[in-house]
Structure 1
Amino acid sequence: MNLKISGHHLDITPALREYVVNKLDRVVRHFDQVIDVSVLLSLDNHKEKEKRQKAEITLHLKGKDIYVESCDGNLYAAVDMLIDKLDRQVIRHKDRLQEHQHEAIKHQSPDLPQ
């Protein structure tokens, strides 16, 4: 799995990098066919009153890309919400893949009423 963590208008500290990597382990534990992960952490200060921390992630899986973003006043809280959303989407994708792997119709026994 290739992991790229970058920051926009903020520096990525080793503690922040380790926090994101530890949280991503939860996602990889559910679905191990992850090819590439891109994380973008940014600071948006459009309004002078409040600074908004934003976390975005793009997860490249075999056959699908999943994009999730979340915003909060605290960057760690934004990462937590981001990982929760991503985890739900990965589990849903995994369930869809497993539902399609059913037995072919020609190999099923016919349930004909008599």
Structure 2
Amino acid sequence: MNTSIVGKQFELTDSIKNYVEQAFENLEKYSLDIISGRCVISADEKQGKKGFVVDFSLNLAKKDTIVIRHKDKDLYAAIDAIVERASKVLRRHHDKLTTHKNKDDKKQNALDDILETNAPLIDGVDEIVPTELELYKPLEIDEAVRILKESKDQFLVFNDMEAKMRILYKRKDGKLGLF
């Protein structure tokens, strides 16, 4: 993870930099693909009251950027509050990835369960039998025409010599069509 720690209107000390770097390292425990992290610390003085504003942003792969801003009189308290909020967001995202199965996986598992049973699904309905598709070498159009004429099929799906998927079909008038 690339980290960047910047101080605006405020000089960063080594202890502050180490504290923020340790905070970034603590967020890596969620095993998410964190691309980069940026922390901008700025001094904020309004109406004679001194304080700090800490902006914290995390860039996640395949997800939006997480941006958190916190104001506090104590710099370390502000950093702790931001790390806690970032941990909560990352934990939720991590839990979604680890506990919720993908909908496609559920569908595939259900289909596999159905195909494994040997009994018909419903009375009067034929059993579903899985079959392997045969992979053919690319065909020339003349060869595909010959194959379709010799068969009783209405159409033939094949890859031509340019690796394009083509469909050759019999029309009602007896001629052949190519799509």
Give the SS at the match of 2:17: helix
CA contact (8 A) 1:31 1:90 kept: no
- Structure 1 residues 17-59: Cα deviation after superposition (integer angstroms, max 9, x where no partner): 00111122111112341101111111111221x1121111110
Q: Which structure 1 segments of 5+ residues have no match?
A: none
Matching residue of 1:93: 93
Of the three residues 102, 106, 111, the one matched with 1:104 is 106
Q: Which residue of 2 aligns with 1:59?
A: 58
**Identity percentage over the alignment?**
24
Q: Is the 8 A contact 2:32 2:60 kept in 1?
A: no
2:107, 2:89 → 1: CA distance? 29
User: What CA deviation, in whole Å up to 9, does each residue of 1:55-100 have, x standing for no partner?
Assistant: 1111000122111111110101100001000000111112223325
Give the stretch that moved more between structures: 17-26 or 89-98. Answer: 89-98
CA RMSD for the aligned pairs? 1.8
Report how many aligned residue pairs link the two structures: 110
Matches for 1:1-114 after TM superposition, within 5 Å: 1-48=1-48, 50-64=49-63, 65-98=65-98, 99-101=100-102, 103-108=105-110, 109=113
Q: Is this contact kept in 2: 1:35–1:62, CA < 8 A?
A: yes
Bigger-Rg structure (1/2): 2
TM superposition score normalised by structure 2: 0.57
